[in-house]
Chain A
Amino acid sequence: MDITERSFANIYDEFAPKIFKFCYFRVSSKEEAEDLTSQVFIKTWDHLSAGGALTNIQGFLYRIANNLVIDFYRKNKNRHEVSIDSTLDAIDLPDATDFVKDLDLRITIEQVQSKLELLSDAYREVITLKYISDLSLKEIAHIMDTTENNISVRLHRAIEKLKKLME
């Protein structure tokens, strides 16, 4: 794909909200998600400006986003573990979705977040890509650099886990 400055700006318009949503449901923080989204596009541009090629822009963006989220968890491992267990989280949550104007949607987002947080990151990753980013198994496999079968199994287990947690 022959990318120009102009077409990249259009790519940003199309994908930035999607990448933000993906990051947001992975890290549960507007600021962190914005920071990660910003990094995704900077890194993609760096790749292009260094002469790199892009064949699947969506896959590339999500793959970078996914790797950045993994790095984020790695760097904030301790902080994250503490925050999940922290009782203060229940108080902090409403503020985290303040930027969403629709109250009904805000409640839904908070409910989804609270359930996703019960899953391990590997399951949360696949559920987010499949059901929030609405990607196909093939696309998810490309992003996670694995086979469709592997994703299918992982997704099945994630759903089972989610069902169990909901009982």
Chain B
Amino acid sequence: MSDIFKQLKKVSQVDIVDQTWIARNKRELLGYMRLHPLVRTASTPLLRRFFRMVPSVAFLSAILLLTTGGMSVAAQGSIPGDLLYPVKIRVENIESAFVFGTQNRAQFEVSRTTKRLEEVTELAIHKNISNKLIMEAQVRLERQVQTTSDTIDAVALENKELALETALQLSSTLEAHKAVLDQLGPKADSIVKPQIQDAINSIVQTSDSVQNAVSSLSKQSRANTIATKTQPDLKENSLAKLESAKKKLNETWELVIKLPEDSLVRIQAEDKLLSAQDALTNAELDIELAGYDSAITGIQAGSKLTAETIALLETAKNTTTAVQQILDTTQTASPSQLIDPSKSTKPTPLTSPMTTLAPTSSQTPTPQVSSSISPTPIQ
């Protein structure tokens, strides 16, 4: 008889649950919670009356906005919770009605995603912000990413290459904003740290499906090219893709060298572009050796890194003062290697011979590479 009690005791002392299921179910629960946020009522009737007025004020603002251009500009910088935020959304909806063509639609949705990402980032660092607003912004972001992914799927039916390019833009934008939040996390006030982590989690959650789409489109595009082209066509096609990737890379270099030499963004951008150059140089060699599958993979890798750099630059350019202040505070408080070029951590050494000629972070990025790729932007 004591056996059963021993067994019961043993069972009572251990967890028998499947941890994979626990994690998966938690994600689903968090999703459910976002869609059904906690209701927080205003504490006084006066406040309640004020909040009831907010939609009407916003609506009036929208009318004004449509008649005055300045208002729409003012609304562009608003975030959820601001009086002008509904105006911003309304303006976007109006703009959306004038977007024609699948590719243009996809581009428009990518730029809308960027706006939602900026809002999530901005809200994450606000101290006195309601959970409901944060949750709503995250749900809005997730829905927007889904919409953008759907439009990319539509583009893929017409043109896989363009779809891949747009998907890369989307994934790079998500990654760049996550990187900003990652940097903010350790530096921000402890009150907002959980909010920042929530924002990171929200982006990670949406990033997975986008990354899968990028990977799947890359494979499809590669397979299509290899399967449908004859050998001479393949070479021509690969060279055309390489040229296009190089052009984009050089254009991006031009933007990067305009940044202050000691800025963190420039160091990160240079690092990515050097890797992109590496990938393209190797791809060029692969084309010479008729290794087209490998060449296209290299071109895709180079294009991805370039897209990531562009997203990094865009995100840095649009960073709000509030976000920048947090990042700057730490930089001043701790003159880290990241901002002091003389102490900067060198980019991860690359294997290509080109890497050995890579500039230090304090130099203008003018690595000597084959003439076909010009890392020195054309002056």
Interface residues of A (CB under 8 A from B): 3-6, 8-9, 12-13, 16-17, 20-21, 24-25, 30, 34, 37-38, 41-42, 45-46, 48-51, 99-100, 105, 108-109, 111-112, 115, 127, 131-134, 162-163, 166
Interface string of B1-28 (1 = CB under 8 A from A): 1001101111110111110011001101
Cross-chain contact B16 with A105 (CB below 8 angstroms): yes
A43 to chain B, nearest CB (A): 11
Q: Which listed residue, A25, A38, A100, A134, touches B29 by the CB 8 Å rule?
A: A38
The CA-CA distance from A37 to B41 in the complex, in Å, is 30
Cross-chain contact A166 with B25 (CB below 8 angstroms): no
Contacts of A131 in B (CB 8 A): 5, 8-9, 12
Cross-chain contact A13 with B26 (CB below 8 angstroms): yes
Q: Which listed residue, B11, B17, B38, touches A112 by the CB 8 Å rule?
A: B11
Cross-chain contact B29 with A112 (CB below 8 angstroms): no
A72 to chain B, nearest CB (A): 18
The CA-CA distance from A162 to B7 in the complex, in Å, is 13
- Using A16-B22, A17-B22 as known contacts, say yes or no to A41 and B29 having CB atoms under 8 A apart: yes
The CA-CA distance from A147 to B198 in the complex, in Å, is 43
Contacts of B7 in A (CB 8 A): 108, 111-112
Cross-chain contact B17 with A20 (CB below 8 angstroms): yes
The CA-CA distance from A34 to B33 in the complex, in Å, is 18
Q: Which listed residue, A21, A41, A49, A109, touches B38 by the CB 8 Å rule?
A: A49
Closest to A135 in B: B12
Cross-chain contact A112 with B18 (CB below 8 angstroms): no
Cross-chain contact A115 with B12 (CB below 8 angstroms): no
Cross-chain contact B30 with A9 (CB below 8 angstroms): yes
Closest 5 CB pairs of A and B: A131-B8, A17-B17, A17-B15, A20-B17, A99-B18
- Using A5-B135, A34-B21 as known contacts, say yes or no to A46 and B36 having CB atoms under 8 A apart: yes
B43 to chain A, nearest CB (A): 13
Cross-chain contact A42 with B10 (CB below 8 angstroms): no
Contacts of A134 in B (CB 8 A): 12
The CA-CA distance from A46 to B9 in the complex, in Å, is 34
Closest to A24 in B: B16
User: Could you name 9 residue pairs across A and B whose Cβ atoms are closer than 8 Å?
Assistant: A6-B194, A16-B22, A16-B26, A38-B28, A45-B32, A46-B36, A49-B37, A105-B10, A112-B4
A87 to chain B, nearest CB (A): 23
Cross-chain contact B25 with A38 (CB below 8 angstroms): yes
- Using A41-B29, A46-B36 as known contacts, say yes or no to A108 and B10 having CB atoms under 8 A apart: yes
A94 to chain B, nearest CB (A): 15
